[in-house]
Structure 1
Amino acid sequence: MIVKMAEGNLKTKYGEYHEVLYYDGQKESIALVMGDVKDGEEVLCRVHSSCLFGHAFNSIECDCREQMETSQQLIQQEGKGIVIWLEQEGKGNGHFALLKSVERKRQGVKQADAYEAVGFKRDARDFRAAAEILKDLGVRSVRMITGNANKTDTLTSYGVKVVGTVPT
């Protein structure tokens, strides 16, 4: 179960968001909300996992930063939407797995295959917190900003009505 801990406003280069901090007993998750999404239909939504390489270290070896920027630009253009930030570094395997898999990725191996090759799950992420956040925010349906069918399928299995996707 997820609990709302705190909230406030956040100014970004893509407009002002209302930040809502949640906690599930182990990890914090953040919803960045632009506009009124309560009872919203077809609300643009990006569920984004943390990435130290891309966001903190400005790595050019992943597209996480670009995906976040594109998502915020799309939400700004629409004037309404949500970015949900989940602490799930390395597709949920952690930063250690990311470091261990980097050389394989540089050799042209897809990231999920690289994780598996060094002894981790292809994708250990859990999107239950995102589903609970969307329910807490009162969103009726979303258009996911993603190219990951597994993400939309998982959210649907948790009761989120996904009515479409917008690729990043």
Structure 2
Amino acid sequence: MPDPIIAREDVAESELVTRRGRFSAVAFRHGGHEHMALVHGRVRSREDVLVRVHSECLTGDIFGALRCECGEQLGAALDAIVREGSGILVYLRGQEGRGIGLVAKVRTHVLQDEQGLDTVDSATSLGLPVDVRDYTPAAVVLAYLGVRSVRLMSNNPDKIASLEEHGIRVTERVPLLMPPSENNIAYLKAKRDRLGHDLPQLDRFAVGERHG
């Protein structure tokens, strides 16, 4: 397990009442950014805790952009945690555009809209990396919260490998599939075909297109 100690000056906890229910809001600093873990129910010293590690996406999470499914996944993950009765959502900041930053992400949007590039090629054409996200902060806060193992809500096998490299045991990957639309289908296909995400709902969408 990673070192579970977070310095007192780098963490603060309070109750957070939301329209979905009550959470413990654990704000913490790590890696030059301030992050948040929302904890619902009892999780300390428990196995197989339902967890979502969510990368910050201002356009999707806050403004409801339709070119990605980030905002939908955020809401669906919180709903699943509440239904479960316990769980954790770790919200990692400083990860816009898979870590390239907000300005660079918006520049890739221009290339996607004007030149038809996908999310991978629009980044590399600007000389940017495809994915430089670091999941160490998630592992650190999960250890701090005393979680023994997790069931991870994710469609990205690489996220599981990264957490396990940092000492977090993942006992199950729980799919978090959102319905595709004409606004995000190109984005989702790039995630599946070029980044290895498991998105079986895209096959059903293609069948629907042929028979629509």
Scaled by the length of structure 2, what TM-score is found?
0.74
Distance (Å, rounded) in 2 between the aligned partners of 1:111 and 1:143: 28
Kept in 1: contact 2:62–2:71 (CA 8 A): no
Q: Give 1:60's match in structure 2, choosing from 50, 63, 66.
A: 66
Indicate which of 57, 70, 95 corresponds to 1:51. Answer: 57
Instruction: Map Cα deviations across residues 11-57 of structure 1 (whole Å, 9 max, x no partner).
Output: 22222110001112611111100011001111110001111111222
Match 2:87 to one of 50, 74, 81: 81
Out of 123, 127, 139, the position equivalent to 2:131 is: 123
**Residue type at the aligned position of 1:150:** D
Q: Which residue, out of 147, 150, 160, partners 1:142? A: 150
Q: Which residue of 2 aligns with 1:24?
A: 30
5 Å matches for 1:84-163?
84-87=90-93, 88-106=95-113, 109-163=117-171
Q: Secondary structure at the match of 2:26?
A: strand
* Secondary structure of 1:123 counterpart: coil
Gaps of 5+ in 1: none
Residue aligning to 1:164 = 172
CA RMSD after TM alignment: 1.6
Secondary structure of the structure 1 residue equivalent to 2:133: coil
CA–CA distance in 1 between the matches of 2:157 and 2:116? 22
Cα distance in structure 2, aligned partners of 1:108 and 1:78: 41
Shift of 1:155: 0.4
Partner Cα separation in structure 2 for residue 113 and residue 11 of structure 1: 41
Aligned residues: 168
Residue identity (%): 39
Larger of the two Rg values belongs to structure:
2
Unaligned runs of 5+ in 2: 177-212
Richer in helix (by share): 2
1:13 aligns with 2:19: yes
Cα distance in 1 for partners of 2:175, 2:112 equals 23
TM-score, with structure 1 as normaliser: 0.93
Please state whether the residue corresponding to 1:120 is helix, strand or coil: coil
